[in-house]
């Protein structure tokens, strides 16, 4: 066979074999996405496995003479931290089991390798609350059974022989998944997670047996063998909306009790890791509850949640030429988010030692209630680069183009974080990252317009041109009811509030054409402040022939309604008017009672076609 391993496999050999297997998975990620119908047809298994395994490539490419046990422990820990999705968490747990079996070994023999694989299979099976045949678990189990049965027949079998003889059994187990689950049989596909694990092990086996290393993949290539799969629309049968993940760290996690507590919240639970660090994956409708429960068992980090229903709908939508995504600093009405399939990368909110995912694990109402009662003033931070990268990778594997419209770069590093993540994406789709030069409602209006362009059938190039033309004409104004929140957040010096209070001045701030936040004017006293704010904005928008107006408020619905009435009286050219609550990104500085108005020339997206 030309084996490079014979009866032994050291750390360097394992590292090279893993790299070869990971490259096979990454090469196959688009196809894996296409056949992903279980447990939810959200088309992201290939992306999740690529992100999970790809995170370990730096570790595996370190200089030679790596200790096997140390390498495998570091590899398993890296996978645990980077695990994405159901399959990613299961693969991470498989290698956690292998690592725990390996201990201080400097090399694998055929016997110790077989024991490690068996241990990994047990770990992967035990990680699931409801393990099922016809999934990745089936292929993993067959691998363990095959190596064990061959050793039972021949204790002196070479590792290369055992791996070579296992491959036909794995192929058969993979093919059988089509008939083991109804959803796979109806779609006529094998399980995507099982296929991913098969490709991983195939790459490892070919290297160990023949020294065949897979070249570093061209990640922008589209698979020529990718078939069009008749994916079954299962959204109506999907009881839970959010794929939710986090890591729990403690000295001694009670995994049994943690599993019991989480099992009641949703389905597709995978609890990977050890007593010191546990990776949670679960499908739920209330992601915040998962994090609350998890905090009872240790320190929670790496919170992540994806909208599976939105992903599923987007991956099957053939009417749009591009996808639109924004960070959660953009304030957009819920009905527009749903109607236009707008994707969002959430910012992070920190109240003391409590962290939240903006608009996911804490609602706008809950945020302002916490803002009023919590002695710790919150801080907001831009989305983690991994959050952008994960969503970009997913969307760019399903759309030819992805348009990201982000918070003005003068106020936050969010735009740079998005651009940096886009530069590291290797997928068939192109990423276009745009600085909105705006915030809150103004940013949201630009996002909605771009999404309407997509729904009108415009190309990405047409839409980008239209959006860029609209950016300098989009303005946001904010009337601050209480400067103390801006002072606490460090946006306004304390002496400014002292002077404003002394003179009874209420400032109005605005976004400028170059994306800065500047003073637009001020009002003396509080009397008739809503009417005067409406007049202030109306004077600056009256020249616009057809108007698109958004009104935002920070738990001040009555003031917002009054503002709407005044604006309608002042500006008869209003074509569209939307009222909503503002989110945490602006609310943390504006505080309760703040009012926001965004103005924009009304443009019908369909008029830009052709």
CA distance 345 to 412: 15
CB contact at 8 A, 243 and 281: yes
Residue 363, classed as helix, strand or coil, is coil
- In this structure, the number of other CB atoms found within 10 A of the CB of residue 374 comes to 12
pLDDT at 226: 33
pLDDT at 228: 34
CA distances from 158 to 67, 150, 452 (A): 21, 10, 61
pLDDT at 323: 94
* Cα angle 443, 509, 448; round to 5: 15
pLDDT tens track for 430-486: 999 999 999 999 999 999 999 999 999 999 999 999 999 999 999 999 998 887 787
Strand order in the sheet with 322-327: 343-345, 322-327, 401-406, 430-435
Give Rg (Cα) of the chain: 27
**Assigned CATH topology for domain 475-608:** Hypothetical Protein Tm841; Chain: A;domain 3 (3.30.1180)
Lowest-confidence segment of 155-159, 218-222, 515-519, 561-565 by average pLDDT: 218-222
Percent of the chain with pLDDT over 70: 92
Peptide bond into 39 cis (omega under 30): yes
Cα 47 → chain centroid: 11
Length of the chain counted residue by residue: 610
pLDDT tens track for 49-93: 998 999 899 899 886 667 899 999 999 999 988 888 889 889 999
pLDDT at 56: 92
**For residue 318, is pLDDT > 80?**
no
CA distances from 88 to 52, 81, 94, 447 (A): 6, 10, 10, 31
- In this structure, the number of other CB atoms found within 10 A of the CB of residue 461 comes to 12
DSSP string, 311-349: HHHHHT--S-SEEEEEETTB---HHHHHHHT-EEEPPEE
**Assigned CATH topology for domain 8-210:** 1.25.40
Q: Bigger pLDDT: 394 or 561?
A: 561
Token pair recorded at residue 538: 């109306």
CA distance 199 to 222: 17
CA distance 351 to 370: 8
pLDDT at 16: 93
Cα 503 → chain centroid: 47
DSSP string, 507-535: EEEEE-TTS-EEEEEEEESSTTHHHHHHH
Q: Per-residue pLDDT averaged across 319-334, rounded?
A: 92
Q: Per-residue pLDDT averaged across 241-249, rounded?
A: 90
- In this structure, the number of other CB atoms found within 10 A of the CB of residue 322 comes to 23
pLDDT at 233: 38
Phi/psi of residue 402, nearest 5 degrees: -130, 125
Q: Which residues is 381 bridged to in the sheet?
A: 348
pLDDT at 4: 45
**For residue 332, is pLDDT > 90?**
yes
Asked if domains 8-210 and 475-608 share a fold, the reply is no
* Cα angle 263, 265, 266; round to 5: 80
**For residue 138, is pLDDT > 50?**
yes
pLDDT at 316: 62
> What are the boundaries of each domain within the chain?
8-210, 475-608
Residue matched to tokens 């103004």? 442
Selection from 306, 177, 316 nearest residue 234 by Cα: 316
CA distance 270 to 86: 7
Token pair recorded at residue 292: 């609350």
Q: Bigger pLDDT: 241 or 492?
A: 241
Sign of CA dihedral 327, 333, 335, 340: negative
Token pair recorded at residue 563: 């503002």
pLDDT tens track for 195-227: 999 999 999 999 998 888 888 875 443 333 333
Q: What mean pLDDT, rounded, does the chain reach?
A: 87
* Cα angle 210, 74, 131; round to 5: 80
Q: Bigger pLDDT: 501 or 431?
A: 431
DSSP 362: B
pLDDT tens track for 255-277: 889 998 999 899 889 898 888 89
CA distances from 271 to 80, 82, 133 (A): 10, 14, 18
CB contact at 8 A, 142 and 150: no
Q: Are strands 430-435 and 401-406 parallel, antiparallel or unpaired?
A: parallel
Residue matched to tokens 């760290």? 249
**Containing H/E element for 14?**
helix 11-27
Q: Are strands 299-307 and 322-327 parallel, antiparallel or unpaired?
A: unpaired
pLDDT at 1: 38
pLDDT at 540: 93
CA distance 218 to 196: 18
CB contact at 8 A, 338 and 392: no
**For residue 363, is pLDDT > 90?**
no
**Containing H/E element for 138?**
helix 136-153
Lowest-confidence segment of 222-236, 265-279, 381-395, 418-432 by average pLDDT: 222-236
Q: Per-residue pLDDT averaged across 496-523, rounded?
A: 82
What does pTM read for this prediction?
A: 0.69
**For residue 232, is pLDDT > 60?**
no
pLDDT band at 5 (very low <50, low <70, confident <90, very high): very low
């Amino acid at each position: 066979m030309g084996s490079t391993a014979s009866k032994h496999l050291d750390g360097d050999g394992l590292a090279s074999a893993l790299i070869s297997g990971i490259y096979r998975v990454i090469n196959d990620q688009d196809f894996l996405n296409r056949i992903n119908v279980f447990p939810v047809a959200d088309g992201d298994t290939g992306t999740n496995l690529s992100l999970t395994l790809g995170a370990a490539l730096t570790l595996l490419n370190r200089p030679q003479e790596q200790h096997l046990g140390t390498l495998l422990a570091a590899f398993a820990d890296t996978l645990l931290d980077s695990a994405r999705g159901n399959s990613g968490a299961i693969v991470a747990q498989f290698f956690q089991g292998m690592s725990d079996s390996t201990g201080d070994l400097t090399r694998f023999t055929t016997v110790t390798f077989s024991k490690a694989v068996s241990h990994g299979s047990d770990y992967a099976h035990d990680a699931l609350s409801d393990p099922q045949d016809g999934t990745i678990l089936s292929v993993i189990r067959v691998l363990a059974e095959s190596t064990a049965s061959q050793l039972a027949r021949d204790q002196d079998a070479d590792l290369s022989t055992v791996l070579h003889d296992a491959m036909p059994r794995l192929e058969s187990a993979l093919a059988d998944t089509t008939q083991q689950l109804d959803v796979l049989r109806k779609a006529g596909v094998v399980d995507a997670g099982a296929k991913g694990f098969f490709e991983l092990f195939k790459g490892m086996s070919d290297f160990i047996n023949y020294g065949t290393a897979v070249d570093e993949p061209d990640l922008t290539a589209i698979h020529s063998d990718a078939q069009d799969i008749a994916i079954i629309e299962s959204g109506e049968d999907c009881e839970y909306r959010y794929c939710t993940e986090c890591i729990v760290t403690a000295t001694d996690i009670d995994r049994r009790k943690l599993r019991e507590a989480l099992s009641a919240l949703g389905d597709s639970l995978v609890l990977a890791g050890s007593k010191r660090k546990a990776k949670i994956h679960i499908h739920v409708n209330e992601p915040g509850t998962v994090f609350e429960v998890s905090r009872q068992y240790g320190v929670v980090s790496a919170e992540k949640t994806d909208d599976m229903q939105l992903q599923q709908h987007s991956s099957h939508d053939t009417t749009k030429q591009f996808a639109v995504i924004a960070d959660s600093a953009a304030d957009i009405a819920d009905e527009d988010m749903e109607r236009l399939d707008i994707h969002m990368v959430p910012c992070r909110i920190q109240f003391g030692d409590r962290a939240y995912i903006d608009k996911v694990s804490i609602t706008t109402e809950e945020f302002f209630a916490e803002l009023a009662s919590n002695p710790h003033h919150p801080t907001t931070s831009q989305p983690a680069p991994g959050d952008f990268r994960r969503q970009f990778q997913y969307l760019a594997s399903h759309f030819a183009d992805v348009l990201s419209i982000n918070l003005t770069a003068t106020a936050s590093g969010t735009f740079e974080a998005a651009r940096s993540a886009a530069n590291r994406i290797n997928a068939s789709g192109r990423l276009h990252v745009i600085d909105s030069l705006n915030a809150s409602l103004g940013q949201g209006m630009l996002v909605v317009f771009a999404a309407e362009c997509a729904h009108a059938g415009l190309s990405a190039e047409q839409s980008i041109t239209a959006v860029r033309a609209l950016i300098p004409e989009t303005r946001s104004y904010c009337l601050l009811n209480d400067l103390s929140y801006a002072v606490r957040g460090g946006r306004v010096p304390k002496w400014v509030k002292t002077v404003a209070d002394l003179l009874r001045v209420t400032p109005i701030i605005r976004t400028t054409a170059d994306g800065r936040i500047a003073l637009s004017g001020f009002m003396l006293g509080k009397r008739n402040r809503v009417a005067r704010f409406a007049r202030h904005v109306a004077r600056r928008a009256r020249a616009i022939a057809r108007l698109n107006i958004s009104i935002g408020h920070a738990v001040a619905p009555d003031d917002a309604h009054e503002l709407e009435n005044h604006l309608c009286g002042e500006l008869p050219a209003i074509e569209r008017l939307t009222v909503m609550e503002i989110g945490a990104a602006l609310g943390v500085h504006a505080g309760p009672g703040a009012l926001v108005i965004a103005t924009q020339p009304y443009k019908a997206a369909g008029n830009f076609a052709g």
